[in-house]
Structure 1
Amino acid sequence: MLDILAITGPIYLCIAMGYLCTRTGVFSKPDLRILGKFVLNLALPALLFNAIAQRPLRDVMHMDYLLAYGLGSGVMLLCSYLWARYMNRSTGSYRAFFAMGTACSNSGYMGYPVAQLVLGSIAPVALALNMLFENLIKLPVLLTLADNADAGAHRTWGTVLRDIARGWVRTPMLVVIPLALLVSVMGWALPGPLARTITLFSQATTGLALFVIGGALVGLQLKGKRRLVGQITLGKLVLHPLCVFLAFTFVVPIADPQLRTAALLFAAMPMLGVYPILALKYGHEEVSAATLLAATVGSFFTLNVLLWVLKHYPL
């Protein structure tokens, strides 16, 4: 167990440092937003670019991974949405956020650092595949469901597609993917100074992303509807990875064992860090913030258990 804690220990120590530095005033919430923007707009895009551009295309585009992860996540989304509707009798827009909390992982800030420590060089490839699926399918569908559930907020699918296109060009992590694919296909080599600059930015990703997560937890409280918080946390940390595991075990096999592990690890992460921010528009921010805190704390235990299982029963 100590060797597993040697992997997860630095992850949660970085999160704890972010929390303590923000709690004691060394960094403020606005400071964290700036650091978060740096990670999202520079460090992670640089990391994705290197991960794709430096590999042959056949080593990057894994349709088996996309299909298996997508199927498992889709089943989790559907079951969560139906549970929120028929069992919890939740309001229209909250059904979508209940489902979002159970099936949308924090791939960039937490999933990648964990996968990188466990799997090494395959982690950026899995991150790129996850970002494609989450930003092009999961989040647009869920936000559209939330909008259309509220009275007077109906969006056509044509509007949704336009919003996806606008979001693509405004999201550096998505913009670099086709550019990196072009470099990979053409076999181009970047000039030395440019390649080293991109590498320097990419190396700042892991620790800084975890630090930002810790700072974001300051001020969040476990209050409100505890039953809902518990249901979403259980769904995200246990049922989502279970659905992905069943998908690639029985329906769409993933050929590469490292990618099978990556799919399971990314699914086992807490929900995306902007979960409470997205919920603010619909009035669900308190429950969403409490759930984010519970899932982040709870992931320390579930992730260590998962790594222990993977060590003794490799995929």
Structure 2
Amino acid sequence: MQIVIQNAVEFFLIMFLGYMCRQKGLLSKEDGRKIGRIIVLFTLPCAILSNVRSINIGLTLFIAVSLAIFAQLVSLGTGFMLARKRKPDVQAAYALNTASYNIGNFAIPFAQYFFPGEAIAYISMFDIGNSIMGLGLNKCIGAAIADRESSFDWKASMKKLFSSVPFDTYLVIFALSVFGQGVPEIVVRLTARIGAANTFLSMFMIGTLLDFKAPKSEQKDVAKIVTARICIALALTALIWLVLPLDPLPKIMLTIGVMSPCATVTPLYSHDVGYRGDMPAIVGSVSMIVSILILSVLLLFI
């Protein structure tokens, strides 16, 4: 229990350091986004390569990928229903912000901090399904909601998905696993050094992007979306622990996955489908704090 509390406090302190650097003018939100690019291009793929030597192609992989896709579809539908009487752009923004999961910049660093490297393989399995939706199909679904006459742009979705360095990293590991190979040891040693910075940079970046100043007109929207995310996450957690035929460690990793906050790309996607408010950025910040608090409490009892 003491270790869980200590790690959670350290998490908050790193985020607070990033937040204070922005508040004092040492860094801007744009600097935080630049750090995010470094994470996505370098430290996150290296963290994946150094921790996930191979992917076990079996029942656990199928369950993890299926759960991620199922969770996103349920969340998209829930978000849409919450705003069904609103304008199409608001409906699309609700769906996108209810559905997305921040695995690369939150769940993987969180799992790195609390669990051994073996655990990252399970959260990475969840992220394969999450990436298929979050980096590809979700935006198309959001665009279709915002513009009923539009059709799915499969080509653009696939291009976006396969241009993601973390997703391509999963594909490389998967291909090696198919042929019975793991990541070469020389690659593991190099990527381990770079990937070691992933947790700190991810939490620090999140701190620089935190924003809680929601306009009064959008405060109710933020509350509804965050509450919906919590309810869905708790329902999925019950499903994971009561139904899925998995060992405790993969169950813990999948719980971290479904409890993750809103993805960092969601504000951009919300803007692309026509929403012009501040709600997506606020949902991301609030859901981040809520996720850490809930996961820290759950880890005390798991």
Alignment match, 2:281: 289
Contact persistence 1:97–1:279 (CA under 8 A): yes
Kindly provide the amino acid, as one letter, of the partner of residue 71 in structure 1: F
1:289 Cα deviation after fit: 1.7
Contact persistence 1:66–1:130 (CA under 8 A): yes
Residues 1:188 and 1:12: Cα distance change in structure 2 (over 3 Å): closer
1:183 Cα deviation after fit: 2.9
Alignment match, 2:251: 260
Give deviations 1:50-106, integer Å, cap 9, x for gaps.
Answer: 333x23634896212222343344333323322221xxx222232232122223121
Alignment match, 2:270: 279
Kindly provide the amino acid, as one letter, of the partner of residue 126 in structure 1: Y
Residues 1:293 and 1:100: Cα distance change in structure 2 (over 3 Å): same
1:133 paired to 2:129: yes
1:307 paired to 2:302: no
SS at match of 2:263: coil
Alignment match, 2:164: 171
Alignment match, 1:148: 144
TM-score, normalization: structure 2?
Answer: 0.87
Kindly provide the amino acid, as one letter, of the partner of residue 270 in structure 1: P
Residues 1:141 and 1:59: Cα distance change in structure 2 (over 3 Å): closer
Moved more, 57-66 or 164-173: 57-66
1:206 paired to 2:199: yes
Give the 5 Å matches for 1:62-77: 62-77=61-76
Distance 2:200 2:65 in 1: 27
1:182 Cα deviation after fit: 2.8
Distance 1:248 1:298 in 2: 20
Alignment match, 1:104: 100
Distance 2:55 2:121 in 1: 12
Contact persistence 2:261–2:287 (CA under 8 A): yes
Distance 2:118 2:58 in 1: 9
Residues 1:144 and 1:165: Cα distance change in structure 2 (over 3 Å): closer
Residues 1:105 and 1:137: Cα distance change in structure 2 (over 3 Å): closer
* Runs of 5+ consecutive residues of structure 2 not aligned to the other structure: none
1:8 Cα deviation after fit: 0.8
Contact persistence 2:49–2:188 (CA under 8 A): no
Distance 1:204 1:287 in 2: 30
* Runs of 5+ consecutive residues of structure 1 not aligned to the other structure: none
Question: Alignment length, in residue pairs?
Answer: 299
Alignment match, 1:269: 260
Give deviations 1:23-42, integer Å, cap 9, x for gaps.
Answer: 21222333222211110011
Distance 2:119 2:16 in 1: 23
Residues 1:249 and 1:77: Cα distance change in structure 2 (over 3 Å): farther
Residues 1:206 and 1:99: Cα distance change in structure 2 (over 3 Å): same
Contact persistence 2:101–2:134 (CA under 8 A): no
Alignment match, 2:110: 114
Alignment identity in percent? 17
Q: CA RMSD in A?
A: 2.6
Kindly provide the amino acid, as one letter, of the partner of residue 279 in structure 1: S
Residues 1:30 and 1:139: Cα distance change in structure 2 (over 3 Å): closer
Residues 1:189 and 1:231: Cα distance change in structure 2 (over 3 Å): closer
Moved more, 34-43 or 107-116: 107-116
SS at match of 1:62: helix
